[in-house]
Structure 1
């Protein structure tokens, strides 16, 4: 069972602020869910969760627009926040030391509702960026690493174009082409649909 909540707010980094719409993904069953990227509106996310238990609030990375409702949602649900520790510097920019998280490791599997979400560390958009792969569902939750039409943005602090391309090539392009990619913003796509575009990005560089 996969639900999507779309929330609106702002993304701020390097002195700039932009209006954004974020996808929040709920994965699980009728009893329990994992929330992927608690953005902007904890109440709206909690409403969609309903009476289910939140096993974890997983952050694909720590840009403020992906974590700014995580603290409040954790208070509402009692769920732990999970984040790759390489994004500590970004986490501190938003929360300081007021909200804590449990470190998440590459290769770790987060179990919920009879499935496993495998953590794939895919740095580039952010140092601690991860994707979550559910092979039983043929689904990848890509955060801001991979979008419909190409890789995530790398023009701001703590990001690297070469690194994100390597992450996508090494960690994502080998997944089955029919794998559906649910992104952090905008429309979903598939590995098969994006592979040709990514070869073009790799060939031409920036």
Structure 2
């Protein structure tokens, strides 16, 4: 939702686009992500009827953009100059693999990693060979990095500038602790699939938002497994979770 007109602007103005290469599959419109996503949905309990609905929702979004086939790569710590302002690139993955912020003194252009009213989603991401990237730990790490910077003002990807950043970051970290406890409370000795847990937490959402809710639940299940509070059981191509003994 932030680069849909990039290719058009390049064609009309000759502008140079800068981006982090970890988001290349999104820019080029590669089909592999959708294939990996639909397989993941089936493994984690989504009904077969949901796959085509999610595919169509994603395809409708793709209609809003032209592929961006070339750009200048950004790396963490790179410095960019705009007029008299020097911007430092901060690689802040979690909402997307290649998400960046731009820092200038005590101000940060934060994209979608920190919003004033909305909790950014740790979207499902996959490597080219289909291995899932555990995005929630990345998002939490990016928030802690911003907290260490303690910027006075945030320019978010949605909404008005706000600041200071620290109270909002601390609230986001607290929110994720609360969400993790909600999901932990749903686990029993009987294995449950992530899709069913997401439906218990968020019962009435459309197919595209079902993708977002599953992303969030999976992220917290990852952390619960890592903390030894949950077990992931994979059998017959299906994944389920139960509380640990």
TM-score range with shorter-chain normalisation?
A: 0.5 to 0.7
SS in 2 for 1:172: helix
Query: Which deviations, in whole Å up to 9, do the C-alpha atoms of 1:149-177 show, x marking residues without a partner?
Result: 464112444572221011111x2001235
Check the 8 A contact 1:106/1:120 in 2, yes or no: yes
* Equivalent residue number for residue 6 of structure 1: none
After TM superposition, the structure 1 = structure 2 runs for residues 1-206 of structure 1, keeping only pairs within 5 Å, are: 65-93=1-29, 95-96=66-67, 99-135=69-105, 138-149=106-117, 151-157=119-125, 160-169=135-144, 171-177=145-151, 179-190=152-163, 191-204=165-178, 205=180, 206=220
Matches of 1:188 and 1:156, distance apart in 2:
27
* 5+ residue gaps, structure 2: 30-64, 127-132, 181-219, 221-245
Q: Distance in 2 between matches of 1:147 and 1:76?
A: 31
8 Å contact from structure 1 (residues 150, 201) kept in 2: no
Comparing 124-133 with 186-195, greater Cα deviation is found at 186-195
The whole-number CA distance in structure 2 between the counterparts of 1:141 and 1:78 is: 24
Q: When you count helix as a share of all residues, which structure comes out higher? A: 2
**Which of structures 1 and 2 has the bigger CA Rg?**
2
Inter-CA distance 185–173: structure 2 relative to 1 (3 Å threshold): same
**Alignment coverage as a number of residue pairs:** 137
Distance in 1 between the 2:26 and 2:104 partners? 26
Q: 1:36-58 CA distances to partner (integer Å, 9 max, x unpaired)?
A: xxxxxxxxxxxxxxxxxxxxxxx
Higher relative contact order (CA closer than 8 Å, sequence separation 6+): 2
TM-score computed with the length of structure 1 as normaliser: 0.60
Compute the displacement of 1:199 (Å): 3.5
Q: Secondary structure in 1 aligned to 2:148?
A: coil
CA contact (8 A) 1:147 1:183 kept: yes
Tell me which protein shows more strand as a share of its residues.
1
TM-score of the superposed pair, with normalisation by structure 2? 0.51
Q: CA RMSD in A?
A: 2.1
What 5-or-longer segments of structure 1 have no aligned partner? 1-64
